[in-house]
Amino acid sequence: MDPEIYKQTGDWLKCLLTIAWLLPLAGFVAEIFAGYWSTRLKKTAAYLAVGCIGTGFVCSLLASIIWLNATNWHPLKPHHAAHDEVAHGDGENAAGEHHESGHAEEKHAAADHDHPVATDEKDAEAEHDRPTAVSGTYYQIAHFGKLKLDIGYYIDSLTLVMFTMVTLIATCIHVFAIGYMSDELTEDYEDHFVHVGQGHLHRPGRFYRFFAFLSLFCFSMLGLVIAGNVFMVFVFWELVGICSYLLIGFYVERKSASTAANKAFIVNRVGDFGFLIGLMILWTSFGTFTFTQPDEALAKTDPGLFQMLRDDQGQITTQMAPDESKLVVLHGAGGEESTIPYYLMVAAGIGIFCGCVGKSAQFPLQTWLPDAMEGPTPVSALVHSATMVAAGVYLVGRFYPMFMPEVLLTIAYIGGITLFMAATIAIVATDIKRVLAYSTISQLGYMMLGLGVGGWAAGLLHLITHAFFKSLMFLCSGSVIHGCHHEQEMPKMGGLRKKMPITAYTMLIGVIAITGLAIPGVLAFSGYHSKDAILATSLAYARLNGSHPLLFFLPLAGAGITAFYMFRLWFYTFAGQPRDEHVHDHAHESPWVMTAPLLILSVFAAFVAVGGEEGPLWSMLVHSEPVGVANGTEAIPPGNINLPSHAHVGEVHAEAGRYALSIAVMGGVLAYLFYGIRVLNPSDVKRQLSGVHEFLVEKWRFDELYDVMFVRPVHIVSSWISAFDRVVIDGFLHGTAKVTMDVSEIDRRFDETVIDGIVNWVGQKTFAIGRSLSVVQTGQLRQYVVFIAGGLFGVLMLVYLLSF
């Protein structure tokens, strides 16, 4: 690309995304004072918030179009996904045959974007010149030696996709919230969940405050996405956590809400401790916070983290130290090379992933996310789809080049365990929002697993598709709760389909999307494409690494369980006969301000990933795929872990798809038999498997486990410390104070009796002597002469006597 055009494109992208990023912040500042500028009964704050985030979506969309135009729409051209000939030809024969696989890999590597083979010289040149990212600095805060603290930006296809997704979903949620939070438009809000001495709690409405918090949340997430360096990432990472604390604890007077907010905040700090350690290792080893330098000239003098670690082919150079330990070679400025221990890179990667475990509620820090349901439903939709939980997955994708194969293996297993565990809990949950909460944890596990097994684009594709269908389903649950007068228990629902048709059928679209059901070749929703991509990558990984079959069987089992609990939710809520006449009689469809966002999101939930790995969204993401991912990685000691290439994934794609679709159909049919036509009685299964059911209801007893492992020991230790403080420290201080007071009393008495007595006695005696001498001062001159003569005579007599 011509440098001038590249610069102009970069300037436009910077300008548009900066506007989209900062508008929610401006909205927050304005909205936080809206309660003072107008009455609590006006919707000014809501309209302002919708205007800011909506304009942000328009700017993001324009930036994406400019980016596509500047790259000759290359990101949307189908990437012949490396597996056309093999997968679509005779995938079964190709699977497992190394010789044919090798040829297939050569073919597909040739088609891959990292090593393009253009049909002519012109195409080859255009392919080489296409930009992959733009970056720069808004403002340099400080410069200490090699350390630069910048407010910078890094924009690539992933940034643009995330910006567009976040702003679009946030706009829909803001609009939905205008109707859902209308109860707060009052000077006297009665909270029926808080009991006080005189009845229920009464407080002023917080309509404007809610939208102010939402705006700040969006600003924080967009700042995390556009961050151009690790410093900015950490700042906005923490700001997202603070915003979640404010929103989850929105109903702060409710003990459950304030406890949930504290739990989310504290658990995330546990993960952030590891995150900080990882960042410190990176800084001390690399000496820079910058991700990468897209400009080749700058990259030679001031390379970023990714360029220092990996060469132009995306490979990591290692060497052995004299003591036989493994070292990683870093490529510094001007080709200068240095080394760091291999284990240190593994520790850095694990540390960074710890932060992602906290934010994205992965095992073992998953316990905070279901409790976050205490926040208003629009908050749940935003936290669970586009912002808070997406931040962890996004960061794994952004830091992907920094991860060693051992770190990716850890990510894959954590994701696999999480997805299976959360899915099993969702089977027995009866609160409609908590089913979706555990579903979110499970789907986040899918994303982590996809990234861990080498499916960079697959994991992020599921992030985008999940954001749409999960936000849709949360808003649908909000519509149900609103229509049923804040009833959330599904056993009290049933038969709502006729009373809430828009909510019911848009929810069904979300359910089909997340379960991955489809009619191959005819109709497939977004979840089918993204989940298939992950399962195919998992199967390829398991085939290349024979000791890790669980990394395929866990997501495969999870696909069936997902279909079961999601259709269970839908049948439980919308099908069958009403189970509570009071709830059913009062149920009603939500107003248009709430159902219109459902309709919009349902379209994207169904078709955002249209075309799958031949579609525009996939192609857009793959455009920013880290160099080298497409070709995979062959066995790297000491773990001898292989990462699959696009060709390997292509070989097994059709096979994995058949498995996934089959088990999803089984899960859906089972749910239909239990909760649709009820030919099977769930109570019988519950009775037969009462132990398992209780174990799942108790959420695998993680809360009890943490209570025993951490909470109670902390309480015991705290009570010891409190007793030590009360008895020893306070006793010592109190004793010291008493001794001091006693000594002071003695000192006071000594001073008053002895010192003052002596002084007073001396004074009195002096006064008495003075008074006695006053008799000799008569004022008669002759008498004074007699005294002088007598005195002189006495002196002479004394001198005379002393002379003998």
Residue 739 has pLDDT above 90, yes or no: yes
Domain residues for the domain of 757 are 704-769
Is 738 a member of any domain?
yes
Q: What is the DSSP letter of 776?
A: G
Do 497 and 543 fall within a single domain?
A: yes
Rounded to whole angstroms, the Cα distance separating 500 from 411 reads 41
pLDDT digits (tens, 9 = 90+) for 43-65: 888 999 999 999 999 999 999 99
Tokens of 642: 């292989």
Is 82 a member of any domain?
no
How far lies 543's CA from each of 293, 404, 628, in Å? Answer: 36, 20, 20
Is 592 a member of any domain?
yes
Do 749 and 653 fall within a single domain?
A: no
Do 532 and 588 fall within a single domain?
A: yes
Q: How does 224-253 read in b/e, with b if 16+ C-beta sit within 10 Å? A: bbbbbbbbbbbbbbbbbbebbbbbbbbbee
- At 37 the pLDDT is 65
Do 642 and 753 fall within a single domain?
A: no
Neighbouring CB atoms inside 10 A of 348's CB total 26
Q: What percent of the chain has pLDDT over 90?
A: 52
Residue 3 has pLDDT above 80, yes or no: no
- At 486 the pLDDT is 83
Rounded to whole angstroms, the Cα distance separating 215 from 22 reads 10
Nearest to 591 by CA among 494, 493, 486, 478: 478
Do 526 and 493 fall within a single domain?
A: yes
Is 502 a member of any domain?
yes
- At 100 the pLDDT is 38
pLDDT digits (tens, 9 = 90+) for 458-513: 999 999 999 999 999 999 999 999 998 888 999 899 899 999 999 999 999 999 99
Do 636 and 538 fall within a single domain?
A: yes
Do 744 and 600 fall within a single domain?
A: no
Do 544 and 655 fall within a single domain?
A: yes
pTM of the model: 0.85
- At 635 the pLDDT is 67
Is 395 a member of any domain?
no
Residue 116 has pLDDT above 60, yes or no: no
pLDDT digits (tens, 9 = 90+) for 167-188: 999 999 999 999 999 988 888 8
Q: What is the SS3 string spanning 705-739?
A: HHHHHHHHHHHHHHHHHHHHHHHHHHHHHHHHHHH
Phi, psi (deg, nearest 5) at residue 171: -60, -45
- At 741 the pLDDT is 95
Concatenating the DSSP letter of every residue in 31-99 gives: HHTHHHHS-TT--HHHHHHHHHHHHHHHHHHHHHHHHHHHTTTGGGS----S-HHHHHHHHHHHTT-HH
Tokens of 516: 């991955």
Contact at 8 Å (CB) between 423 and 667?
no
* pLDDT average, residue stretch 671-696: 90
Count CA within 13 A, CB hemisphere, residue 432. Answer: 30
Is 462 a member of any domain?
yes
Rounded to whole angstroms, the Cα distance separating 276 from 284 reads 12
Give the number of domains in the chain.
Answer: 2
Four-CA torsion 742, 743, 747, 749, nearest 10 degrees = 20
Is 465 a member of any domain?
yes
- At 88 the pLDDT is 38
Nearest to 170 by CA among 14, 433, 381: 381
pLDDT digits (tens, 9 = 90+) for 537-579: 999 999 999 889 999 999 999 999 999 999 999 999 999 888 8
Do 652 and 764 fall within a single domain?
A: no
Do 612 and 487 fall within a single domain?
A: yes
Residue 106 has pLDDT above 60, yes or no: no
pLDDT digits (tens, 9 = 90+) for 651-672: 999 999 999 999 999 999 999 9
Do 661 and 749 fall within a single domain?
A: no
pLDDT digits (tens, 9 = 90+) for 200-232: 888 888 888 899 999 999 999 999 999 988 889
Report the interhelical angle of 646-671 vs 526-544 (nearest 10°): 120
Do 675 and 754 fall within a single domain?
A: no
Residue 163 has pLDDT above 60, yes or no: yes
Is 27 a member of any domain?
no
The structure tokens 């954001």 sit at: 467
Rounded to whole angstroms, the Cα distance separating 30 from 10 reads 30
Nearest to 160 by CA among 613, 403, 464: 464
> CA torsion sign, 311 to 406 to 445 to 714?
negative
